[in-house]
Amino acid sequence: MALIGTLLLLAIGLLAYSRLTRPPFPPGPNPLPIIGNILDITSKELWLTAFKWARTYGPVTHIRIFNQSLVFLNTPKAVFDLLDKRGSIYSDKPHLIMAGELCGCENMAAFTPYGDRARRQRKLMQKAFGPAVIPRYHGLMQMESRPFLSRLVTSPLQFQEHIRRYAGGLTLLVVYGHQVKSNDDPFLTLAEECVDILANRIASGGGIWPVDIFPLLKHLPLWFPGTSFKRNAQIWKAKMEEFVDRPYEFVKSEIKKGTARPSFVSTLLELPKLSSSPFDTSFDSSSTTDDEGSSSDRDSSFSSHDTEVAKDIITDDHDHDIRWTANSMYSASIDTTITTLSHFILAMVQHPHVLQRAQAELDGVLGSRGDGLGSSQSVANRLPTFEDRARLPYCDAVFTETLRWGVPVPLSLPHRLTQPDTYEGMHIPQGSLVFGNIWAIMRDPGLYQDPEVFEPERWLADAIEEEEAGKDRDPRAFVFGFGRRRCPGTHLVESSVWLLITSMLATLDIRKARDEKGVEIEPVVKFENAVFRTPSPFVCDIRPRSEEALRLIMEEE
Ligand code: HEM
């Protein structure tokens, strides 16, 4: 008994000693005993609270929820120092019991623990969406953008649904070679059901469930009161697996029939025939992200030369990786694209002078003429293409400012620290969930003058040269996340969102709606989603700029 008492005292002494000798945690609001800062956090717009902490406590904030440390990195220096430069220990993902284990999302790229599987998945995504490959999708993007515009002018108030349909259609085409022809397309319906389950059920409230805090709850039997989360998880898991398997099996059967369109999945299924190892990068089609998180571009061979599936060569790992990576890209692209384009529409509604300046630039480049109705308004002769981009600096500035002002994922996604770390004299405990506070950076008046104001002019060459800080301030360095988990969809977004924005500007007037007395209605926007800063649907007036614009939108390819 005396021995146990001595050991206990020794253990307490050692713990106290280590607490006294280790550096302090980063500053933050005072935690309560046991529950920590649970009362300080909000389920909606947590980024606003985290922004206040950043103002009060400086570049790094620490809070605690029960035993779990959460760390917010509030400056470019802090995010790059830790998430980029120390990427080898800051790239893991939280182990979420509800989302990952019970609902089966642990194999999705955004949830995969850092290690071999995550590295393989990122290599595959680089093959599909590396910068050298994107031009191959330009035709598909152009093919999908005209129907988007026509749906938009037919029912403008449903603009978020149309963006969802566009992003979903483009991703199904690029990833599985499946062309969506109607709104009740079975793959589209299944995909939308799953994205809805993921965003609004599994990840509601930030994706943290009581079982994530008290893991023992997962062992309770299904009949036990309060275990509806387990029954729901079973249903959701089955749906997610159906969404992973059905489109994948479709591509396999198309390959067998010899009718597969070249796509991410078809190419990766066929490529092993050309190499002895499925991961041999000698056939690497685009660019790879190496272990240090940097990427190198190679010549692309993302095409379909051989239509037979190499069943004997494809390993189970490879099969599993392609299946889940393909699916992850779908889920990751929808809400982010809806959010970004909704912010663009909101910005145009609120800033008519920006819309007019961008339209004038487009008319100048695309060739303009009167609309044949005696109107003085001139209108573009054709829709924009990627060849026009270099001559449209103001439109590019509108796109850049939309990313900065809208901040689609304001706290990025959490990275998990795999070992204790010390940063500028502060102790960051192992297992901390680390958030890049993109919102605080994009609203930092030291980086962006009047950060609340939507002002594309800040991105025009002269303004940037004047400040000599263009590169460090480019929102693209932040809004897509950091280090080895940085968004692999950036190059796709760079093209697909640019094309949609310029096509809308060229053909549509986007204004405030008016009530029956002709008075302008101010759009009212709320942000309900815990992860994405998606504006709630708002009223606005979207219509073709002229008869000529309507003809351009409706004309068949
Ligand atoms: C404007 C649109 C988009 C924005 C703002 C955006 C932003 C982000 C952010 C902030 C992250 C978290 C990065 C981190 O953990 O540090 C992320 C991850 C991810 N994004 Fe995107 N994204 C967009 C579009 C897309 C698209 C179109 C795709 C796919 C085609 C995509 C695929 C992914 C995937 C798979 C991940 C998880 C990566 C990993 O954890 O390794 N995203 N994105």
Q: What is the pLDDT of residue 316?
A: 78
What is the 520 CA–ligand 1 centroid distance (Å)? 36
Residue 480 Cβ inside 6 Å of ligand 1? The answer reads: yes
Ligand 1 atom closest to Cα of 482?
A: 16
Strands 60-65 and 433-436: unpaired
Residue 486 Cβ inside 6 Å of ligand 1? The answer reads: yes
User: For ligand 1, atom 23, which residue shows the shortest CA distance?
Assistant: 336
User: For ligand 1, atom 43, which residue shows the shortest CA distance?
Assistant: 487
Say if residue 194 carries a ligand binding annotation. Answer: no
Residue 336 Cβ inside 6 Å of ligand 1? The answer reads: yes
With contact defined as beta carbons under 8 Å apart, do 364 and 395 qualify? no
Question: Could you say which residues of the chain have pLDDT below 50?
Answer: 274-312, 371-376, 470
User: For ligand 1, atom 3, which residue shows the shortest CA distance?
Assistant: 336
Q: What is the pLDDT of residue 371?
A: 47
* Rounded Cα–Cα distance for residues 333 and 452 (Å): 26
User: For ligand 1, atom 13, which residue shows the shortest CA distance?
Assistant: 481
CB-neighbour burial class of residue 546 (10 A; exposed 0-12, middle 13-18, buried 19+): buried
User: For ligand 1, atom 21, which residue shows the shortest CA distance?
Assistant: 487
* Rounded Cα–Cα distance for residues 120 and 109 (Å): 10
Q: What is the pLDDT of residue 204?
A: 73
Q: What is the pLDDT of residue 536?
A: 95
- Dihedrals phi, psi of 448, to nearest 5 degrees: -130, 120
- State the first-to-last Cα distance of the chain, in angstroms, to the nearest integer: 87
Residue 146 Cβ inside 6 Å of ligand 1? The answer reads: no
Q: What is the pLDDT of residue 301?
A: 31
For 349-405, how does the pLDDT look when each residue is reduced to its tens digit (9 = 90+)?
999 999 999 999 999 999 865 544 444 455 678 999 999 999 999 999 999 999 999
With contact defined as beta carbons under 8 Å apart, do 326 and 265 qualify? yes
User: For ligand 1, atom 17, which residue shows the shortest CA distance?
Assistant: 487
To the nearest 5 percent, what fractions of the chain are helix, strand and coil? 55, 10, 35
Residue 493 Cβ inside 6 Å of ligand 1? The answer reads: yes
Sequence-separated (6 or more) residues with CB below 8 Å from residue 494: 134, 476
What is the 320 CA–ligand 1 centroid distance (Å)? 20
Domain extent listing, the chain: 28-554
With contact defined as beta carbons under 8 Å apart, do 395 and 358 qualify? yes
Provide the CATH topology of domain 28-554. Answer: Cytochrome p450 (1.10.630)
Ligand 1 atom closest to Cα of 112?
A: 40
- Dihedrals phi, psi of 435, to nearest 5 degrees: -110, 125
- Dihedrals phi, psi of 508, to nearest 5 degrees: -120, 150
* Rounded Cα–Cα distance for residues 79 and 247 (Å): 37
